[in-house]
Amino acid sequence: MDHKKMGDDIVRLVGGEENINGLVHCATRLRFDLKDSRKAERETLEKHEGIITVVESGGQFQVVIGSHVAYVYTEIMKNRDFGSDSPAAGESSGKKTSIISTIFEVISGSFSPLIPAMAGSGMIKALLTVLTLLGWMSATSDTYMILSAAGNAVFYFLPILLGITLGIKLKANPYVAGVIGAALMEPNFTGLMDKGSDVSFLGIPVVMMNYSASVFPVFISISIYALVDKFLKKIILKDLQLFLVPMLALMIMVPLSAIAFGPFGTGVGDWISSGVTWLIGVSGILSGIVLGGFMTFMVVFGLHWGFTPITIQNIGVGGDPIEAMAAAAVFAQIGVAFGIFLKAKKDKTLRTLAGSTSITGLLAGVTEPIVYGLVLRFKRVIPIVIIAGAIGGAINGHFGVKMTAYVFHNIFAIPVYTPTLIYIIAIACSFIAATLMVLIFGYESKVKGEAPEMDESVKTEEPVAVDIKKETIYSPITGKTIPLSQVNDSAFSTEAMGKGLAIEPSVGEVVAPIDGVVTSLFPTGHAIGLTSNAGTEILIHIGINTVALKGKHFNPVVKEGDSVKQGDLLIQFDREQIIEAGYDIVTPVIVTLTKNKVDVFETNQEQVQKNEVLLTLVV
């Protein structure tokens, strides 16, 4: 996959660089702060190779592209700078956002850059737990101490790192913001704790506290600093701002943080943490049902970011019950995917998608491909993922399971949950319950049982169940048929773009597979989209990564908006020249969108001629 090309396409389709205020990324998605989200071509983005889906939540325009997101982000940020020049959340973009959305946007924008570091550090702590339990390493050895430093550093120095990311998000100098956090951990400051209550600043009493791994104090301090920074820049001559603005900001903010914002933020964090603990104590089962059952959809809408500061705060004081209960939702999603993998025996492409996302979820804890590729696609599994997640969440809530290090919820992270055995039982129940419910109840509704295996006869014969409606897609190309799972591009092989079949062309021409309209024709001529008279959208993509040829060797004979009849010539291409240029000519034929929920059945022929039956769509 060409990450640079994909990044450039995404920037263009979200409205260009001039429409982007800021950009960060998390484990699977690019999170844009756009000036005007209406300028983004959402439908085109969702059809783009490599993009799973697009989500608008928490004031962000989120492009979900999977585990290779970091590579695309790196390519986008080369020779671009959306961070340091971006406006503060909800400020100059002209968008009207609620206070809650703005808060979530600031939280997500601040924590997203730190998630990889926190997750990696958490996994080191999990590994050390396993090594010490097995007796393979002593907790007092030098090796353990060095690795422990690697696992603890990001959490211990979180006020510094969070100060930097908050400064970026709030359009203040991020390094001055980081210094404010660092000042609360500097040895001269922390050494004052030995004096007990006899600490003051200009006669004003200072309540000394340990701010390592704290979240709320730095959030409050840096939010105030962003306002102070803007005020100082307004009243100080530009020639003096280089040293005078940061100097005065530090002289103002560090004492204020020590005197007021730090103790207040710590108190707020303790109060919220105590409130959550109290609520869980009142009914751990009910709390677990809510968090385990509905966390899947909180993530979809970005609401999970509201728990992140509380989670970090709880981990710093012994363990977090929220993420322990929410982890059940992750294993419920994995169970749904595994159930579909076992159930979808006839649909090879769906089986491949479900199997691969199950493995990714188990090993890495990344389940967004499951959520967007399976759960939201097959609405019948939504109650299944809720029920299964609620079961595991209730068990963890009832027995007070806690997460002791920030990790992604995967099988390797099990040692950081305590009590570990209860946690294993809880996630196993969620996984097994989801799998069994999918096997028993299925993952999609059908009108009349299973459709028959498709062959040439389906072109003229009616299905057995007369009230089943069908649409036939004829082959646009002559050549060898290849399952999508074998296509060398994850956008097609994982069925993220839709169901269908690929063809290795033996003749360099594409004809219309249906009666309909040409709804999209790429300028490079390598891909074309059509909509049938029945409302089905079809994408024909000639070759893999052939967009890089910039139209060379392709000759479209139609244009967007043209009405076509099945069999009409659409595109001519020079297959030999494309192969000689080093490109794979395998051509996916994808059903990207249908008017109704359908099953897509593929031809069982190894070779097809143009105008022969390729796919049958059954409602």
Of the candidate ranges 157-161, 366-370, 543-547, the one whose mean pLDDT is the lowest:
366-370
pLDDT value at residue 276: 72
**Does residue 90 have a pLDDT over 60?**
no
Q: At which residue do the structure tokens 């210094």 appear?
A: 179
Residues 273-281, mean pLDDT to the nearest whole number: 76
**Per-residue model confidence (pLDDT) at position 141:** 93
Please pick, among 3, 25, 409, 541, the residue that the annotation labels catalytic: 541
Look up residue 456 and give its DSSP letter: G
Least confident of 87-91, 320-324, 428-432: 87-91
pLDDT at 33 over 80: yes
Which residue, 454, 516, 482, is CA-closest to 587?
Answer: 482
Verdict on whether the full-model pTM lies above 0.85: no
93, 283, 549 from 12: Cα distances, Å: 18, 50, 19
Task: Say which DSSP state 425 is in.
Answer: H
Residue type at 316 in one-letter notation: G
Between the CA of residue 228 and those of 212, 236, 564, what are the distances in Å?
Answer: 24, 12, 63
Torsions phi, psi of 6, nearest 5?
-65, -45
User: Once rounded to an integer, what is the mean pLDDT over residues 85-102?
Assistant: 51
Q: For CA atoms 610, 611, 616, 619, give the dihedral sign.
A: positive
Instruction: Among 212-221, 269-278, 464-473, name the one with the lowest average pLDDT.
Output: 464-473
Angle (deg, nearest 10), helices 99-111 and 308-316 = 50
Active site residue 429: no
* Averaged pLDDT, 457-478: 58
Q: Residues 1, 68: contact at Cβ < 8 Å?
A: yes
Q: Does the structure show a pLDDT above 90 at 586?
A: yes
Q: Mean of the pLDDT values across residues 254-266? A: 90
404 neighbors 355 (Cβ within 8 angstroms) = no
pLDDT of residue 272: 75
Q: 171-198, pLDDT tens digit by residue?
A: 899 999 999 999 999 999 988 888 777 7
Neighbours of 39 (CB within 10 A): 14
Helix (H, G, I), strand (E, B) or coil at 364: helix
Would the pLDDT of 520 be above 80? yes
Residue 463 and residue 619 in contact, taking contact as beta carbons nearer than 8 Å: no
What pLDDT, on the 0 to 100 scale, is given for residue 461? Answer: 37
In this prediction, residue 421 carries a pLDDT of 96
d(CA 572, CA 339): 43
CB atoms within 10 A of CB 69: 20
Distance CA 253, CA 184 (A): 11
What angle, rounded to 10 degrees, do the helices at 3-13 and 69-77 form? 70
Does residue 541 carry a catalytic annotation?
A: yes
Residues 371, 376, 377, 382, CA torsion sign: positive
> How many angstroms separate the CA atoms of 323 and 590, rounded?
38
pLDDT at 100: 64
Give the Cα separation of 425 and 499 in Å (integer): 36
What would the pLDDT profile of 301-340 be if each residue is shown by its tens digit? 666 767 888 888 888 778 889 999 999 999 999 999 999 9
- pLDDT of 101: 64
Q: Worst-scoring range by mean pLDDT, 58-62, 135-139, 554-558?
A: 58-62
Residues 472/458, Cβ–Cβ less than 8 Å = yes
pLDDT band at residue 1 using 50, 70 and 90 as cut-offs: low
What pLDDT is attached to residue 293?
92
Q: Cis link prior to 246 (omega < 30° from 0)?
A: no
Strand order in the sheet with 470-474: 470-474, 613-618, 599-602
Check residue 387 and give its pLDDT. 96
Q: What token pair was written down for 85?
A: 């020049």
Which one has a higher pLDDT value, 304 or 400? 400
Q: Using CB atoms within 10 A of its CB, is residue 145 exposed (0-12), middle (13-18) or buried (19+)? A: exposed
pLDDT of residue 455: 36
Under a CB-based contact definition with an 8 Å cutoff, are residues 49 and 489 in contact?
Answer: yes
What long-range pairs does 340-344 form, CB within 8 A, spacing at least 24? 340/374, 340/378, 340/381, 340/438, 340/443, 342/435, 342/438, 342/439, 343/438, 343/439, 343/442, 343/443, 344/443
- Rounded mean pLDDT, 500-526: 91
Q: Report the pLDDT value the prediction gives residue 93, as an integer from 0 to 100.
A: 45
Q: How far is CA 568 from CA 120, 171, 173, 512, 536, in A?
A: 55, 56, 60, 5, 18
- pLDDT for the residue numbered 215: 83
Q: How far is CA 299 from the centre of its chain?
A: 9
**What percent of the chain is modeled with pLDDT above 70?**
89
pLDDT digits (tens, 9 = 90+) for 136-183: 999 899 999 999 999 889 888 989 999 999 998 888 999 999 999 999
Distance from C-alpha of 233 to C-alpha of 240, rounded to nearest angstrom: 10
Which residue out of 26, 48, 398, 409 is catalytically annotated? Answer: 26
Beta bridge mates, 54: 63
What tokens were used for 388? 């299964």
**pLDDT greater than 50 at residue 437:** yes
Predicted pLDDT of residue 51: 84
CA atoms within 13 A on the CB side of 327: 35
Query: Which of residues 392 and 273 earns the better pLDDT score?
Result: 392
* pLDDT value of residue 451: 37
Taking only the tens place, the pLDDT of each residue in 192-234 is 888 777 788 998 988 888 888 778 889 899 999 999 999 999 9
Residue 502 above 90 pLDDT?
A: yes
Taking a C-beta distance cutoff of 8 angstroms, is the pair 321, 277 a contact? yes
DSSP 205-245: E------TT--HHHHHHHHHHHHHHHHHHHHS-GGGHHHHH
Query: What tokens does 164 get?
Result: 């930097």
Among the residue ranges 116-130, 292-306, 331-345, 558-572, the one predicted with the least confidence is: 292-306
- Mean pLDDT over 497-516 rounds to 91
Say yes or no to pLDDT of 391 above 60: yes
pLDDT at 107: 78
Give me the mean pLDDT over the 466-485 stretch.
80
Neighbours of 408 (CB within 10 A): 22
Q: pLDDT exceeding 90 applies to what percent of the chain?
A: 37
- Residue 400 clears pLDDT 80, i.e. is over it: yes
The burial class, CB within 10 Å (0-12 / 13-18 / 19+), for 329 is: buried
How confident is the model over 35-53, as pLDDT tens digits? 888 889 888 888 888 787 7
